[in-house]
Amino acid sequence: MDTKRPVAIVQARMGSTRLPAKILKPLAGKPALWHVVDRLRQARRIDEVVVATTVKPADDVVESFCSEHAIPCFRGSEEDVLDRYYQAALHFSADPVIRITSDCPAIDPTIVDDVIDGFLAGGFDLFSLGGEFPDGLDCQCFAFWVIEDGWRNATLPSEREHVGVYMEQHHREKYRIGTHEPFKGLSHLRWTLDEEADLRFLEAVFDRLYSPERMFLARDVLELLDREPALMAINTGIVRNEGLLTSLEKDKTFMKGQDNADSATGR
């Protein structure tokens, strides 16, 4: 892929264990997934926004939602999210690939643009939002070849279930990696949608800030929390990145199984 075509791929499925069907929960009268896509479409650096869901029958409703709202949709593996991203990137000729999760209905398109700008300007292979940022603004920008390299070589459960783990955590030496770090001391803030308490927090934020005429940004949420600090108590105390932590535990079981298999064959 020679021509740069930044495509945001939003991973989305109905089968969340902690808050089932969270991606279609209403916020200010619109499903959470609608807000994710609508906000990403305001990013000046993104050529196209697509949704990558699974082939499970439960996710037929996601495909129907995308069709209703003219959102390109790709369907792939539920468990092997890295394969889903790789196949979607191939299908939509994405390069670079901007990874966004559907549990980020308050994603800030200006921050996404900053991440893409950093990727393009610095000659990086992988560029992410880093530092101490509120959970729910997550954004990663990958060169297509990096996604392909991870797809070919990743073996651990955490590496297949979470797109950036092989590249950003386990094999950083292989890539030119950079980060955009606009926030300090804000990692305790939780703007993601993963638990019932998160939904209540986001409902309060959208009720106060959402307007069809003007998109609110991260700075608007921070100003709101300065005015109404009690809102932060709605969803405090939830473990950040709980899904990734679960996958890392699966890695231990996987590696133990590999060791037992090697012992049995005399390797």
Nearby residues of 24 by Cβ (< 8 Å), 6 or more positions away = 14, 31, 32, 33, 61, 65
pLDDT score recorded for residue 238? 87
Convert 199-219 into a string of H (helix), E (strand) and C (coil): HHHHHHHHHHHCCCCCCCCHH
For the full predicted model, state whether its pTM sits above 0.75. Answer: yes
Whole-angstrom distance, CA of residue 228 vs CA of residue 179: 31
Whole-angstrom distance, CA of residue 151 vs CA of residue 82: 6
pLDDT score recorded for residue 4? 84
- The string of pLDDT tens digits covering residues 172-209 is 999 999 999 999 999 999 999 999 999 999 999 999 99
Of 67, 57, 123, 127, the C-alpha closest to 97 is 127
pLDDT score recorded for residue 1? 42
- Can you list the domains of the chain with their CATH numbers? 7-256 (3.90.550.10)
**Could you state, in chain order, the average pLDDT of each consecutive group of 10 residues for the chain (267 residues)?**
82 91 97 98 98 98 98 97 98 98 98 97 95 97 98 94 92 96 97 97 98 97 98 89 57 57 53
pLDDT score recorded for residue 155? 92
Contact indicator for 40, 8 with CB cutoff of 8 Å? yes
pLDDT score recorded for residue 264? 53
pLDDT score recorded for residue 253? 63
List the alpha helices (DSSP H) in the chain.
Answer: 32-40, 60-68, 81-91, 109-122, 144-153, 157-161, 196-209, 218-227, 242-265
> Residue 46 corresponds to which amino acid?
I
pLDDT score recorded for residue 78? 95
